[in-house]
Structure 1
């Protein structure tokens, strides 16, 4: 997350947070049916810093980074637990895929959305995020 925020500042681009999972069928469907569209792919590669956060990643966090969630009361031991807790705590959602567009400070720019297999809807979502980013950064 910190690395994405830094790259966002350096390249002056918003971040698209993709809450995803290794075993998420809806995530793969979005990638195969929507992200593969040339217009969507162009926007993802040129207009955004893509941050994929895997909520089912089993890799353990170092002991000094493990904690008990103030949100759920659960012990957060893995990277996946950390991102799942982050998603639930900050967006009151725990489903994947879930897409959030943020600025260089991590502020949400447009309403997040989950799986929607309409290419046109996703293009509009990405375009609205880019426009909000540019407006908030003094560019039009």
Structure 2
């Protein structure tokens, strides 16, 4: 629910939307996505051996948990072309100025 709040209340603000449209490649991984993985793409869980990951959301949830040691939603990451964090990831940040400052700080680290 907080993900949708961010998408509806923070992302549409001009200073945020401009960055999301023009300065980053936005990738959204929905951990609540109940669509089945395509046939043959089901994988065994690395966190729970013996359990098959059958849904898109399960795949992204496990990815987030393994890579970022976090299982929060929303969870925002700014990374470079090699997948290295530009700034510490953040969760739900409903304050537009705070989120804007986080975006700008991460982008400044990318341009170094």
Q: Is the shorter-chain TM-score for this pair beyond 0.5, marking a shared fold?
A: yes
SS in 1 for 2:66: helix
1:133 & 1:67 partners in 2: Cα distance? 33
Matched, 1:31 2:7: yes
The 5 A counterparts of 1:1-140 are 25-73=1-49, 74-135=51-112
Gaps of 5+ in 1: 1-24, 136-140
SS in 2 for 1:65: coil
Gaps of 5+ in 2: none
- What is the aligned-residue RMSD (CA, Å)? 1.3
Aligned residues: 111
Which digits, 9 at most, give the CA deviation of each residue in 1:60-110, with x for residues without a partner?
113432122222334211111110100111111112111011111211111
1:121 & 1:72 partners in 2: Cα distance? 36
SS in 1 for 2:15: helix
